[in-house]
Amino acid sequence: MNRLLLWTGLLLACLLGAGAFYAWHKAIPYEEVVDRGPSPEAQANPYLAAEHFLRQQGLAVAHANSLEGLADLPPKGNSLLLLGERSTMTPGQVNQLLDWAKSGGHLLVVAEALWDEETGTSGDLLLDRLNIHQALSEAFDEPASPRNKKKAPDLTKLYVDNETAPAYFNFDTDFNLTDPKHLAQFSANSAKSSHLMQLDFGQGSVTVVTDSDVWKNAAIGHYDNAWLLWYLNQGTDVTLLFHTDVDSLLTLLMRYFPQAVVALVALIALALWHAGMRQGPIQAPAPRARRQLQEHLQASADFLLRRVGQGALLRALQQDIQRAARRRHPGFEHLETAEQWQVLERLTHQPLHVISQALGPLAAKRLNSADFSRQVACLQTLRNAL
C-alpha cells in the first residue's frame, strides 16, 4: 500500500514537472505600457514641458503666479512671458510692465481681444498701448472644400537670417495681427494671417503672439514650436506668468485700510439694528373664535390655487359643464365642438362668444387675477344655467 502511494506521488510529480516545463517553454515574455495620463504636475502646469525644454537649453526658468512678485525682477537679461488671462490688469500694472521692457527686458504677451474700429480700442490695455491690433483672419468663415476633407494645416512660417528653410509653427489661424504703424521688426505669418510680431521697445523688446497653445504640454513637441520658444528667449533668464490673479477690492482695503473697513462694518451693523427695532407694541394674534366660514373657504381656495394651479381649477369647472350638458342633452359628448357650443347657447341662453371664451383652450401662461376671476365667473354662470 505504501509502495503504491509512493509510485502515485512520483507519477503526479512527474506530470506536474512536465506541465510546468511545457508552459515555461511556450510562454513568451512581453512588455505592456499603461498610459495613466499626465502627471499631477503637468495637470497643474500647462507649460511644464516648456520649462523642462528651456532648462535643457541652459536657460534659467521660473514661473510666477502674480505681478506683485515681479517688482524686483531686473530687466537686463530677463524675459517675462505673460501667458495667462489678464482682463483685470490695471493701467498702473500696464505702465509698470512697459517701463520694465523699456529698461531692457523682453516681454512676450498673448493678444486677448479683437480690435473694434468703431470705438478705436480692443479693451486689452496692454495690446492697445503697443499699437498692435488683432482681428479675425480672412479665412475664418470660409467653408471647407468637400473634395479636400483632409486639408493640410496652414502653418506659420518664420524666416531666420543665414537659414535657407523657414521654421514652421501651428498657431491658431483664426486670428490675425496687424501693425498699422509699422513698428514690428519682424513677424511670422501663415498663408493669410500674421501670428507673431516683435518690436523694439526702448532698450528692450516686446513680442506679441495670437495664442500660446503652441507651447503647452500637448503641442510644444510639434513642428518647430519648442525651437521658437528658445529662439525668442535665448540668452535670457525666463519667467513664465500664466496666473495673473489680481487682488480684489476687499483684499486691498483690508491690507491698506483695515480700520476703515472695521468702522464701515460697525456702521452697517448699527444701521441694520436701528432699522430692525420695533416702532410699537407687538400685535397680538387674532383669536380663533373670529374666524368665519368665508375665511375657511377663502383659505381652501388659496391652497388649491397654490397647489394645483389655475389650469387644474379651470379644467374642473369645464368638466362640470360637460357633465351637466350630457345630462341635459344625451349624446352631447359625440357632437363637434361648434355643435356643442350651439347646444349650450340654447340651454343656457348665453351668447356664443361667452361660451367659446369659457370652454376654449386654456392659455399657456398664467393669467392675472382679474382675467382669472373673469374666467371663473363665466364658467360658473354657464354651470349654474345648466
Give me the residue spans of the domains in the chain.
42-140+153-241, 294-385
The percent of residues in the chain predicted with pLDDT above 90, rounded, is: 1
Q: Give the per-residue pLDDT at 90.
A: 82
Distance between CA atoms of 6 and 361, rounded to whole angstroms? 97
SS3 112: coil
Global pTM value: 0.53
Which tens digit of pLDDT belongs to each residue from 214-261? 888 888 888 888 888 888 888 888 888 876 455 567 776 777 788 888
Residue 229 exposure: Cα atoms within 13 Å on the Cβ side: 34
Distance between CA atoms of 337 and 343, rounded to whole angstroms? 10
Which tens digit of pLDDT belongs to each residue from 66-109? 776 676 788 888 888 888 777 777 888 888 888 888 888 898 98
Range with lowest mean pLDDT among 31-40, 225-234, 351-360: 31-40
Distance between CA atoms of 343 and 361, rounded to whole angstroms? 19
Phi-psi region of 142 (alpha: psi -120 to 50; beta: other; left: phi over 0): beta
Q: Give the per-residue pLDDT at 304.
A: 65
Q: Is the pLDDT of residue 36 over 60?
A: yes
Q: Give the per-residue pLDDT at 30.
A: 66
Taking domain 42-140+153-241, whether its CATH number is 3.10.105.10 is answered by no
Cβ atoms of residues 83 and 110 within 8 Å: yes
Radius of gyration of the chain (CA): 41
Q: What would the mean pLDDT of 351-364 be, rounded to a whole number?
A: 76
Distance between CA atoms of 365 and 385, rounded to whole angstroms? 29
Which tens digit of pLDDT belongs to each residue from 279-295? 666 777 766 665 676 66
Which tens digit of pLDDT belongs to each residue from 310-341? 777 777 777 888 888 888 888 878 888 888 87
Cβ atoms of residues 51 and 63 within 8 Å: yes
Q: Give the per-residue pLDDT at 297.
A: 61
The C-alpha cell that represents 358 in the structure block:
369659457
Distance between CA atoms of 187 and 224, rounded to whole angstroms? 16
The percent of residues in the chain predicted with pLDDT above 70, rounded, is: 81
